Structure 1
Amino acid sequence: MYDTASVLLRAYYRATGWDEQRSYLHLMRASETLLDFPIPRYLTFSSASVPTSSFMASARTSSLPFSAALAYAYASTKAPLNITCVVDPKHRMTRASYFLLPDQQHRGTPHFDPSAPREALLFGSIHAPSGCVEALCVTRLSEHWQLMATALSRAPRYPLVPLGRRLGLLTRPERSTTASSSSTTALSEEDLVLGPPGTTNLLLTCQHQTPHSTAEYSYSLDDALWGFRYLRQFSSLTQRGIVSAGAEVFFSAAEKSAGVSIGSRWSMPQGAAYAVGATSSPASPAVATLTLNPMMGHVRASYAAQLDDDVLVSTRYDFNVYSYQSDWTLGAEYRLHRLPEDDRASFSSVDSASSPTQRERVGVCAMPKDDVHMSLRDTKLDPALPSTPVQPRTPAILRAAASDDTSARTTTGTTATTPYLGILKARLSATGLLALLWEGAWHRCLLSVGVKASLSSLQPTPPLLGVEVLYLSDTA
């Protein structure tokens, strides 16, 4: 399931009119959501609460090894912000249908008023027993500019030791070039006992977005890493989809290393069949992407599509032109729905003698009456029995939803037919790695059960089974 920070950041973008999918960082987001879904590790419990319309609190505990985290968030926007999304199972599930339309028409950002209170999102969490602190701050600078700051701080093993040395209460050990090997060893042992001095990494990202392009300038304080990302849409190239192309360049002054990546994306809102000329095909969105890293020689191609209202599939191929190593991954997502209360009441009100069986409801066969005697030597069926397979007895509310399927489809590619019961995801790679994940809502909880195992005897890995339980408290 999605973590709290990701859900809040997506809700903040929707409230402020910022399109996150027009970033080069999210170029392959659709296939990554379908193929790279996380598996819970062992047993995890978490909870989220929304006491006010602009404040949120969450807690999380994990076992083997034991760890805990406490997080708080505050948001201030001009437009209404759906901060209750953190306690909504539909937003916490790792659904991929939202990312199958990355290049939909931009709905425009609200008019920026410099005199109005600044829009911002603040998020922070502290982890125990490591003492690690995470922070996120996003604020709108102007109509087309946005600033994001993320920080990760690791506390020293003994926090009072650096403070005492700074105040002069403790002496700082001096390293001598003429020290013997024994003293050097003792100094290393002393540093090992005191633990690491603590580190803080700050990443600043300045984003500029227009209706057809997005540019990002980033700087990492820890390793002096400068980065630049750019993605532009070419809507005029084809009428059957939108083609986007971009690149990423980064350089580290501390490590004296650099990297570059280029990629393109072809989003097809009407599906791949319509994009190649089949105008009679149903509207099923699809996304095809291609990325290339010239320095590492890595090529990645992916394709994600929606086959049905409840079925999404994706495939990805990785190849290295230097080592000739390759990998192929296939994944799918199946959406489960809950039977509406009206249908369950209608089924229970029907007399048990006349209620259809499961085989009759799916249209397999019709059970003969009790007074009909048949044998295998009969040459023809009794006229009382149908000569053709019966039609499934679909509930009325499901038939109405099926007839209005086209009108019920929203801009995000989902349908509002029946309540969500959960999703089932599967992934299989050519190297023999198999992963299964089930996420479902139960009362006020969201359950996530996953398993990952290796089917290959060449690279055997122990299977991993994890369960995560998220308690969703009542909103304010």
Structure 2
Amino acid sequence: MLDFMDYIQLAFAEATGWNGENSYSSLTATAQSLLDFSTPERLRVHLSSLSTPHFATSYTLGTVGLIDGSVSYLFSTVPFENTASKSALIPLRKIAPGYRQVQPPVAPVEDWGWDSLLGDINSVGSGNKIDNEVESTRRKATLLHATLHLPPPTTLNALFLRRLSPTMQLSLAVCSTQGPPLSKSAPQASLLTQLSHNTGKYSNEYLFSTDNTLFGWRGLWNFGPDPRKSQDQSSARLSLLSAGAEAYYSPVSSLVGMSTGLRFSTLPAATEGSPSLTGNHGGPISTFPYTLTLTLTPLTGSLSTTYSVRASPNLAFCSRFGFNVYSWESEMVAGCELWRQGRKTPARSSLDGDDGLEWARRKMRGEALPIHESPSTTPFEPATTPLLGEKEDGAGESVVKIRVDQSWNVRLLWEGRIKELLVSAGIGLGPGSFSPSCSSVPAAGSTSSAGGGHPPSYWRGVGVSILYSS
């Protein structure tokens, strides 16, 4: 489950029209959501609030050996007036990501339009005052976020995010860790700078980290029509093929890294059954939405393939196979997620004395039914089933995720809503030597076991995370 501050940052991206999915770092996002989810570590409570449309706070208290916690603050020049901030209203599918439906590439809006985001200035006075106000409202969208982890030695994480243009975004991330209590050494700090350029057709990211003076680049290219020139053709596409790569180099430590990847995914038009695409049959081109990825790291010889499919609006499966050509080691991981739909809210309030069956009584009396009271549109017989991943879909009440690898390491996660609380509970099981300090699931593919010929024991990591926001 995402933290409240991560949820607000996603709302910032939506409000400013930034497509973070069109990036090489999101190439395998679907498989990561279904297979690489983490389970909570023991008990952790999050108290969050969107105090004003521009300011948010979050406090965390956890018990992991010792009592620990964090304090977070966030400020944005873009107001979050239409963002659901209460835990009872936050759509669970947004804060608990699962199968991600890849959307067609969209060209950035060339009309900057920050006036509509930051307020209307037409009512301001005349003269120089208008010019000054125009300049202030056209300032670039900016987000500031800081988190202080306690107790000592404390760690400070800070983020500065700024939109430079419709296609450019700059982010500065700082991490500073205080030294031991009795040490007079300066805090260890690192800065990560990232400049992103996203045109819809392709995206580039340029990175620099003060840690080992690391330089990096990531790029993604979408095959097919350019959305900047042919909007209609892009919206009618059935599938999308994307290719990308990344490269890193550190002149200090002579560190070199690179990888490349491919992704093939069906688009919403392939399963919606549009008459212009399906001909006379009117059925969908593809029965199930699916995503295929292939990633290769040439220097280490690692090859990984993933296959994700949404078998129904509430059920998705995913598998990953990894292979190393140098060591002949392999990895096999499989997982799934199952959503439980909440009860639909009746169209009319029960205070009006309507139990939702008035349409049936009228039909038995032979009366004509108004269109808005047709039984096909009543809450008990919905005309359409909402699809997983839709922006306006908040009907999911809970979700269960499970993953298992070839070493029988198992993770089980339940996320749902209890009253006005968002709760995440998980457990990890796997073969290995028992260790009291082991509170999280080891990396996929680990094969540690008890030595000396003794049968392997099974460790358990159980945790619960509770989020309440107002």
CA distance in 2, matches of 1:205, 1:105: 22
State the Cα distance separating 1:108 from its structure 2 match: 3.4
Letter of the 2:16 counterpart: T
1:198 aligns with 2:183: no
Q: Equivalent residue for 1:96?
A: 98
CA distance in 2, matches of 1:153, 1:110: 38
The 8 Å contact of residues 304 and 313 in structure 1, kept in 2 or not, is answered as: yes
Q: Equivalent residue for 1:4?
A: 4
Q: Equivalent residue for 1:331?
A: 335
CA distance in 2, matches of 1:42, 1:342: 38
Return 334-343 or 114-123, whichever deviates more. 334-343
Letter of the 1:459 counterpart: S
Q: Secondary structure at the match of 1:84?
A: coil
CA distance in 2, matches of 1:22, 1:231: 7
The 8 Å contact of residues 301 and 316 in structure 1, kept in 2 or not, is answered as: yes
State the Cα distance separating 1:294 from its structure 2 match: 0.1
CA distance in 1, matches of 2:303, 2:19: 27
The 8 Å contact of residues 54 and 78 in structure 2, kept in 1 or not, is answered as: no
Letter of the 1:121 counterpart: L
CA distance in 2, matches of 1:419, 1:135: 34
State the Cα distance separating 1:128 from its structure 2 match: 0.6
2:397 aligned to which of 421, 426, 442 = 421
Q: Equivalent residue for 1:404?
A: 384
Aligned Cα root-mean-square deviation (Å): 3.5
Aligned CA distance change for structure 1 residues 109 and 236 (closer, same or farther; 3 Å): closer
CA distance in 1, matches of 2:288, 2:19: 22
- Deviations 1:273-332, CA, capped at 9 Å, x for gaps: x99xx9755553221111100001111111212111111111111111111111111111
Q: Equivalent residue for 2:129?
A: none
Q: Equivalent residue for 1:72?
A: 73
CA distance in 2, matches of 1:441, 1:282: 33
The 8 Å contact of residues 207 and 216 in structure 2, kept in 1 or not, is answered as: yes
- Deviations 1:333-377, CA, capped at 9 Å, x for gaps: 1111222365998xxx99xxxxxxxxxxxxxxxxxxxxxxxxxxx
CA distance in 2, matches of 1:453, 1:28: 25
Q: Which runs of 5+ in 1 are unaligned?
A: 159-192, 351-393
CA distance in 2, matches of 1:25, 1:214: 11
2:210 aligned to which of 217, 221, 226 = 221
State the Cα distance separating 1:456 from its structure 2 match: 7.8
Aligned CA distance change for structure 1 residues 281 and 37 (closer, same or farther; 3 Å): same
The 8 Å contact of residues 92 and 396 in structure 2, kept in 1 or not, is answered as: yes
The 8 Å contact of residues 101 and 413 in structure 1, kept in 2 or not, is answered as: no
Letter of the 1:36 counterpart: D
State the Cα distance separating 1:92 from its structure 2 match: 5.8
CA distance in 2, matches of 1:143, 1:240: 27
The structure in which a higher percent of residues are helix is 1
The 8 Å contact of residues 285 and 413 in structure 1, kept in 2 or not, is answered as: no
The 8 Å contact of residues 92 and 397 in structure 2, kept in 1 or not, is answered as: no
The 8 Å contact of residues 108 and 200 in structure 2, kept in 1 or not, is answered as: no
Letter of the 2:162 counterpart: T
Letter of the 1:101 counterpart: V
Letter of the 2:149 counterpart: H
Letter of the 1:228 counterpart: W
Aligned CA distance change for structure 1 residues 81 and 252 (closer, same or farther; 3 Å): farther
Q: Equivalent residue for 2:252?
A: 254
1:449 aligns with 2:425: yes
1:48 aligns with 2:48: yes
CA distance in 2, matches of 1:68, 1:109: 43
CA distance in 1, matches of 2:327, 2:158: 39
Aligned CA distance change for structure 1 residues 222 and 107 (closer, same or farther; 3 Å): closer
Q: Equivalent residue for 2:230?
A: none
Number of residue pairs matched?
A: 388
1:137 aligned to which of 160, 173, 190 = 160
- Identity among equivalent positions (%) equals 24
CA distance in 1, matches of 2:160, 2:185: 27
Give TM-score, length-normalised by structure 2: 0.74
State the Cα distance separating 1:11 from its structure 2 match: 1.2
- Deviations 1:170-220, CA, capped at 9 Å, x for gaps: xxxxxxxxxxxxxxxxxxxxxxx5275321110000111112011011100
CA distance in 2, matches of 1:281, 1:45: 45
Q: Equivalent residue for 1:367?
A: none
State the Cα distance separating 1:151 from its structure 2 match: 0.5
CA distance in 2, matches of 1:109, 1:328: 45
CA distance in 2, matches of 1:334, 1:203: 37
State the Cα distance separating 1:414 from its structure 2 match: 6.7
